[in-house]
Amino acid sequence: MDCIFCKIVNDEIPGQLLLRDEYVCAFRDINPVAPSHVLIVPNKHVDSIDSLSTEDAGLAGKLLLAVKEIARMENIASSGYRVIVNNGVDGHQEVQHLHIHVIGGAPMQHQLG
Ligand code: DGP
């Protein structure tokens, strides 16, 4: 499978990772929309939230806990940040490997959608 985020996870595109453990990786978004814009992905290929199975419940928890860890590493835990997961066509998901955007370092716009 030709997946850009699998390549980052597998170090086929070197030098991008901020965090890696057994289950998840984090790296900076190539097109940041704020001073801090990090993507958190499962190490195993999962297309989207919609593709998660009940067996992935633990993995889903690991992804959320990685959000907290990245916020601490990026020094945005106390100032606050936004967490976004785009899903499918209407959600404008461009990369078909589940990823959580963690965006902060400046006040977000109030509006969603
Ligand atoms: P989404 O619309 O949620 O699928 O956003 C995909 C994000 O992935 C987008 O903000 C840009 C980022 N992105 C795409 N290709 C690459 C890449 O090769 N490296 C990195 N670091 N980020 C990428």
Active-site residue, 110 included: no
| Of 110 and 9, more confident | 9
Predicted confidence at residue 113, as pLDDT, reads 81
CA distance 11 to 79: 32
Can you give the pTM of this predicted structure? Answer: 0.97
CA–CA dist 42, 5 (Å, integer):
9
pLDDT in tens, 48-73: 999 999 999 999 999 999 999 999 99
Q: What is the pLDDT of residue 27?
A: 98
| Active-site option among 37, 99, 101, 110 | 99
Distance CA 78, CA 109 (A): 18
Q: What is the pLDDT of residues 7-44, one digit of tens each?
A: 999 999 988 899 999 999 999 999 999 999 999 999 99
CA distance 18 to 39: 10
Ligand 1 test: best mutation among 29, 70, 89, 101, most atoms within 8 Å of CB? Answer: 29
pLDDT tens for each residue of 73-104:
999 999 999 999 999 999 999 999 999 999 99
